[in-house]
Amino acid sequence: MSNDTVKIFDTTLRDGEQSPGCSMTTSEKLKVAKELVALGVDIIEAGFPIASPGDFDAVRKIATQFGDQTTICGLARCRKEDIDRAWEALKEAKNSRIHVFLATSSIHREHKLKMSKEQIIETAVEMVKRARDYCPDIEFSPEDAARTEKDFLCEVVERAIEAGASTVNIPDTVGYATPAHFHDVITTLKKNVSNIDQAIISTHCHNDLGLAVANSLAAVEAGARQIECTINGLGERAGNCALEEVVMALKTRADYYGVNTNINTKRLYPISHLVSTVTGMTVQRNKAIVGKNAFAHEAGIHQHGVLQERTTYEIMSPEDVGYVGTNLVLGKHSGRHAFRDRVQSLGHTLDDATFERIFNEFITLADKKKEIYDSDIVALIENQVSDAPEKWSIARFHTSAGTGTIATATIELADEDGKIHCDAATGDGPVDAVFRALERITGISAVLEQYHVGSVSSGKDAQGEVRVEVRINGELFTGRSVSTDIIESSAKAYLQAINKAVGRGEN
């Protein structure tokens, strides 16, 4: 293969957000988009504009703010109203792309679309041309391409390119393909589509069989030059091709693939944790590239080898991906200059107001903890990420629990006008009592689906990070908070999820 560039098409804000419980507010999407620009992605698929007013607003704002720095893309079905709405959201961007899709496999044609092959081709051509009238950069996806008859797939792709598509994306929509199979699909297109050299071949692989990254790499090996992926592999069902994994595979094995990307890999770890914080989806410890264990060595023989020469057991360095460990760095006597320098070295750029808030929280934390670690600083920064509307905030709380006693919690919440509301509840332990008291005051009944507690750094005085997932009126909401007191952290995380539900109901 030639030594050229593979474009990275990030769809965290569209396909990734479709993962249950991973919805983001517009302000959260803007923060993620900003980091995606800093990461160096070539295209950001910002959303599905016709899906909802919120999606439209997010795509429009991202296009306006970042469309001069990278290409902003909006998704549209092969329908006139979808394409018109997508362009309305994208038109302020200097660099924009409309991504249209239409299913082509026999199972989709028969059971979902009720359309013949001829109707599929006619519709695809008409809608690509309509999109092309708005925008010169058009991407066409034959949905479920991996299960589409190859001769028909070649015909659809050829006609879409002829109509004006400059990128043809080949989706493995249900994660059905294997690497050899997917390589053959891309090779078939290159051999049999007469105008294939007029478009970039892209790949969009799902992870139902755990092969999304492997299939994407096979496609690159066969000639694809765009990969559609998401941070942390978020997405429908088992997720998508993980951006951090496929990028580092191409970089680490450049000797084999002979291609490069425009990704600043030192930004991979920070953005992974930003997306995890925003969506509430925890990154598993043994996750490749960005998991906490990715650069940990437990076996004695491994530790010995790494001490002698890191490359004995590490094929990439932690610094390559911006890994943040638990290095001890600062104390309560550290000044603003030292703190700002450390924040910047960790890959974060903060405005003055946010910096002051985090610095004050750092000083407060330093009074509670003897030792402050890099991971503590990152946790303080990530705590500022959520912009859930705060209808309720905790003024004070008290809990009582112990062996042979009934756990109780008394809480004072302040509403938007500053009025204090107080109530108490009992429960099966102090955390349960706190949650019940919060529900009594806010008047919201929630079902706790997930509750996770973990330490941010080491030591008995470490900050406890609590993540919750609750179901309110049938919809999932997430909350996250950190504190040296896990009861306080639990209360704030639960209240954050309730505030999100309240905000959703008012919009």
Calculate Rg over the CA atoms of the chain.
25
From 123, 36, 40, select the one nearest 77 (Cα to Cα).
123
From 155, 160, 141, select the one nearest 226 (Cα to Cα).
141
Does 337 belong to an annotated binding site? no
- Token digits for 100? 């249209």
Does 207 belong to an annotated binding site? no
Phi-psi region of 240 (alpha: psi -120 to 50; beta: other; left: phi over 0): beta
Decide if 496 contacts 390 (C-beta within 8 A): no
- Token digits for 283? 């990154």
Angle at CA 478, nearest 5°, toward 209 and 268? 60
Decide if 240 contacts 22 (C-beta within 8 A): no
Angle at CA 39, nearest 5°, toward 37 and 43? 50
Does 452 belong to an annotated binding site? no
Phi, psi of 65 (to 5 degrees): -80, -35
Does 333 belong to an annotated binding site? no
- Token digits for 134? 């708005």
- Token digits for 91? 């038109």
Task: Determine the Cα–Cα distance for residues 490 and 331; give it in Å rounded to an integer.
Answer: 26
Query: What is the total residue count of the chain?
Result: 507
Mark the binding-site residues for Mn(2+), compressed into ranges. Answer: 15, 204, 206, 240
Mark the binding-site residues, compressed into ranges. Answer: 15, 204, 206, 240
